[in-house]
Amino acid sequence: MHVRTSRSRCERAIGTLTQNGVYTAPASISTTQWVVITAHSSADPSKTASATITLQPPAPTNVPTYSISGQVFQSDGSPFGPISINVTGDQAQTVPTNASGNYSVQPPPAGHYVVKPASRTKR
């Protein structure tokens, strides 16, 4: 059976398509793109099949990491712990402090967070 392949029409070519129907994606792209490859039967032109290929740009490799940390103090300035710390916002979680009131949330994704003491941890 002979098959002819074609790529959907677009403003510019995205990758290459050989006469044998082998598609090769471009070496790099900056945004998500779609390519539709259609195979046409030479024996029966009314018979076609299509495949949509989604091309994704590479994930960034230099994404900064963040941490949220601190210490809980009593009104007289002495450390307060152990206690639970509620972290709410783009990602919610509860973390414990140590006996000196120190806590750390790592690594939260970049975003907006509110940090509040929750309750005293039972010993």
Determine if the pTM surpasses 0.85: no
C-alpha dihedral over 87, 95, 105, 60, to 10 degrees? -80
* Rounded CA separation 1/88 (Å): 61
Q: What is the pLDDT of residue 5?
A: 54
**Tokens, residue 93:** 């979680």
List the chain residues with pLDDT less than 50.
1, 9-11, 121, 123
* Rounded CA separation 48/18 (Å): 18
The DSSP secondary-structure symbol of 100 reads T
Cβ pair 45, 2 in contact under 8 A: no
Q: What is the pLDDT of residue 4?
A: 55
Residue-wise pLDDT for 40-65, tens only, equals 888 888 888 888 899 998 887 787 77
Beta bridge partners of 112: none
Cβ pair 28, 68 in contact under 8 A: no
